[in-house]
Chains A and B, each alone.
Chain A
Amino acid sequence: MATNPMHQFNVYRIGPEIKISNIDISFTNASLFMAISSLAILILLNLGTKKNSLIPNKIQLIAELSYGFVSKMISDTAGSKAKPYFSFIFSLFMFVLFCNMFGMIPYAFTVTSHIIVTFVLAAFIFIAVTIIGFIKHGFGYLKLFVPSGVPIILLPLIVIIEIISYLSRPISLSVRLFANMMAGHTMMKVFGGFVISLGIVGGWLPLSFSVALTGLEILVAFLQAYVFAILTCIYLNDALNLHH
């Protein structure tokens, strides 16, 4: 058993090495767990919507609950204009949630504990929201960077500040998810290591910590998926209803 707490984040190849020119696109454990979470979502929602009984069974209840949860979240934060983007936000929320939750299974790999995964998601959201903003408002979208009622002398500085603030969105979005997942899983591993090294005499205290941390991590896994989705809604709201 590896005692290094960072060992769990190693990405390794499964199966043959696949290379296109210089880019390594082999199947790794990260891709495996992404595929597992996507498949799990598909299976859950397929089973949940197969027979639409008036009195739902458990799987249908889960599917309906998650649908209602995301739907309410979108209408609360971004209003009715954001309804067409429901499918995007729903799949985003479910994907992040399932990746986080599958990471909680012992010996599983947490996909979202890698910054590149969360950053790609955040960058995709950022680019999509920017394009939506320009489609909806044309060049009027640039008004987002020019707040009203600012003296002309201060304007260049304000515009630079606003642009930096806008560009910081994908970074804050991705770093938050990645840092929370990585820190939590490292901490769990460290406490697990304490249990082994302190043995049967002193190992009970870190063991109880470990149990409490597992509960906390499950909460964080859900909460971070929620925050990720709700911030997407907020950014979408900025793009759809220009108000500054």
Chain B
Amino acid sequence: MSKDQFKTRLEIAKNKILKRSKISRQSSSSKLGIAFKMSTEMVAAVVVGTIIGFILDNWFGTKPWLILIFFFVGVIAGILNVVRSAKSIQDKE
């Protein structure tokens, strides 16, 4: 009877340790890497959007308009990038 009790308690303790080690492993270097990823993702999309707008403006000769539109589209794409990488972290956990 007491042996069984001990076994169940051992199982519970083992599970707890396993869970804790899993969490700590994820929170180490790979999370820091994801943080670095987020910061530039937003900026890069805005830059790409603006460049595309600039090139298209030069092609069609519609000077200020396409660059304005594509700047905001780039902002949306940047937000989408950040949301997506945040979601991928959430899915992992």
Count residues of chain A with CB under 8 A from any CB of chain B: 21
B37 with A227: CB separation less than 8 A: yes
For the complex, give the distance between the alpha carbons of A175 and B37 in Å.
11
What distance in Å separates the Cβ of B83 from its nearest Cβ neighbour in chain A? 11
Chain B, interface SS category? helix
Q: Is B68 an interface residue (CB 8 A)?
A: no
A contacts with B: majority SS: helix
Contact A172 B41 (CB under 8 A): yes
Q: Please judge, given known A-B contacts A157-B73, A172-B40, A175-B44, whether A164 and B33 are in contact too, CB under 8 Å.
A: no
Q: Which residues of A contact B (CB under 8 A)?
A: 157, 160-162, 164-165, 167-169, 171-172, 175-176, 179-180, 223-224, 226-227, 230-231
Which residue numbers of B lie inside 8 Å of A, CB to CB? Answer: 29-30, 32-33, 36-37, 39-41, 43-45, 47-49, 52, 70, 73-74, 76-78, 80-81, 84
A-B contact pairs, 9 of them (CB 8 A): A161-B76, A162-B77, A164-B48, A164-B70, A165-B81, A169-B44, A171-B47, A176-B39, A227-B36
Having A164-B48, A168-B41, A175-B44, one finds 14 other A-B pairs with CB under 8 Å, namely A161-B77, A162-B77, A165-B78, A165-B81, A168-B45, A168-B78, A169-B44, A171-B47, A172-B44, A176-B39, A176-B40, A223-B36, A230-B30, A231-B37
